[in-house]
Amino acid sequence: MSWTDYPLPIAAEGAPTLKRWRKLRSGELQNYRDIIVALPPSYQESGRSYPVVVMHDGQNLFDPVASFAGDWGLVGQLADLARRQVEAVVVGIANTGPFRQYEYSPFRDPVHGGGDGDRYLEFIIGAVLPLVRRSFRVLDQPGATSIAGSSMGGLVSLYALLKWPQHFGAAAAMSPSAWFAGEALRRVVEASPPPAGRLWLDIGTGEGDRTLQSVRRLRDALIAQGLPVGERLHYVEDPGATHQEQDWGRRFADVMPFLLG
């Protein structure tokens, strides 16, 4: 197996270069998935190493054809960020469709499933990141490695920052499913030291009262545990925004600079 070119879905001046590894096997989960990597526009000429941003739902990030419900539009966003000198190697890990709920939560919900989140993160740490580090010029210290996602992907990203600070120095929990499994993530926050790294937490006010209120309670728990809103915790309520890829992609223009510090 090797990396192959992933055709750009749209033409964008100064766009990143997309590479794809087909069907990377997870021994932890006994399944396969594609990995799509976006290399910064300056990658070929600069010779330098870049921070890494690991993201979930990889098929929804760059390509409207592959996306389940619209894409984030990250090709254009990353091109715009590069013009602002904000660059990273972005690693999109495809979800596995019907098993997504299980892999993106370490908690078991009697209605919605879940429970494989730890094994999914072990796959990222033990297989995805080593592959990326062997293949591309990236910084490999925790402070240069972020993890980000939305909805269930936001839940597992915050959990990763809490449980694996030796691997991740920042996380973005965008519209996290904080309600999942009876707000089990909040209980983990309440029983843990505050995250050592940087955390972006956001929610759209149009996402429904259950989601909005559960994220507010999660924010309050983080503050109570010693992570006040400020340099290391950035909290956003996006007026009118709903639970969809277009809103997450739009906010990513502010998320990535925060993750990179």
* pLDDT, mean of residues 107-136: 95
Quick: pLDDT tens for 174-210. Answer: 999 999 999 999 999 999 999 999 999 999 999 999 9
Mean of the per-residue pLDDT values for the chain?
95
CA–CA separation, 59 vs 85, rounded Å? 26
Q: Which segments of the chain does DSSP mark as H helices, in order?
A: 43-46, 74-83, 100-103, 117-123, 129-135, 152-163, 180-190, 209-224, 245-260
Nearest to 152 by CA among 181, 194, 123: 181
- Find out whether 187 and 181 touch, Cβ atoms under 8 Å: no
Report d(CA 188, CA 19) in Å as an integer: 36
Q: How many CB atoms lie within 10 A of CB 165?
A: 15
- At position 10, the amino acid (one-letter code) is I
Percent composition of the chain: helix, strand, coil (DSSP 3-state, to 5): 40, 20, 40
CATH of 4-260, one of 3.40.50.300, 3.40.50.1820, 3.90.45.10, 3.30.530.20: 3.40.50.1820
pLDDT per residue over 125-156, tens digit each?
999 999 999 999 999 999 999 999 999 999 99
Q: What confidence tens digit (pLDDT) does each residue in 51-94 have?
A: 999 999 999 999 988 877 779 999 999 999 999 999 999 999 99
Give 10's pLDDT tier (boundaries 50, 70, 90).
low
